[in-house]
Structure 1
């Protein structure tokens, strides 16, 4: 049975997740993570996307992507297929790297966006990897709050504009939201708090 086509239109905003086939790891070492970010950057440039947040975990990843043109399917096919081809070449294997199609949730422009960005940033905290996402290299949070230079493919101004009237106030607000979400970091298996988070979490587990 063929998959139903994605809803695509100019200016659409998506929360994208994709996980390894049979929930296997898709990133084993730093080289794999860097390779994926390189392919992501190329894809964003090729399809004129805007990436507002991302987080790479061992067996899945999250992206917050806006598509000025209606091309999420074409771009995601390229992203996952190019990475999978390189992954199989490196590890001398064949077969699927990712589990079927990517998972995409179409978002309203102002609906739950701050909560979603917070949810994406807190992935390594929920997994018990770090106590605060500022200590996690493979997500966009550090760049968003100015702890490191943002990669060329990441757009931080839009998210910050939703958080405060000035950049400093926005960063302070976002940092506070993250700290509130990280306060129980001694309990790594924190549970999702909304129906949407439960749905995404069940997909990525």
Structure 2
């Protein structure tokens, strides 16, 4: 039986392509439901709306779940790893500053999938923002406060 890959193995061979759109998922440290805390969720959401978080990229759609974040990121320049790391660092810093938290906020790595040129970007965005519905957190996406999409 094969052992699961280490996060460094996941990063090996990762290619960042300007103009490409990536579906990104990152989880909280030990999958703790940190973002059930309204103050934490609001901080992460505000940062997601901040242009400073997306230097070299544009976040087209995102949803913040209790223990993870999904985003659809259009890379303008640079490296997808740096773009995601910037967002995670900004959220971590904000939460730690406000609470004195010492343990990490996020797992070290993230999962990404580059969309193909023929993939339906809006369908990918709908899939992302429908996460709270599939998880049973709400009956209507409009009832969930921690998401956004560029097409609204």
TM range (shorter): 0.7 to 0.9
Aligned equivalents of 2:34 and 2:111: distance in 1?
16
After TM superposition, give the deviation of residue 70 of structure 1 in Å: 3.0
Structure with bigger strand share is 2
SS of the aligned residue for 1:116 comes to: helix
Give the 5 Å matches for 1:25-40. 25-40=33-48
Structure 1 unaligned runs (5+)?
A: 145-154, 158-205
Shift of 1:19: 0.8
Q: Which residue of 2 aligns with 1:65?
A: 73
Between the two proteins, the alignment pairs up a number of residues equal to 142
Give the aligned partner of residue 106 of structure 2: 98
The Cα RMSD (Å) is 2.1
State the TM-score, normalizing by the size of structure 2: 0.81
Question: Bigger radius of gyration, 1 or 2?
Answer: 1
**How far off is 1:91 after superposition?**
3.1
Mind listing any 5+ residue stretches in structure 2 that lack a counterpart? 1-5
Q: How does 1:47-196 map to 2 (within 5 A)?
A: 47-140=55-148, 155-156=150-151
Deviation at 1:79, TM superposition (A): 1.1
Alpha-carbon distance in structure 2 between the residues aligned to 1:109 and 1:37? 29
- Larger mean CA deviation between 1-10 and 102-111 belongs to 1-10
Distance 2:21 2:132 in 1: 23
- Cα pair distance change 1:59/1:116, threshold 3 Å: same
Question: Could you tell me the TM-score, scaled by structure 1's length?
Answer: 0.62
> Equivalents in 2 of 1:19, 1:64: separation in Å?
15
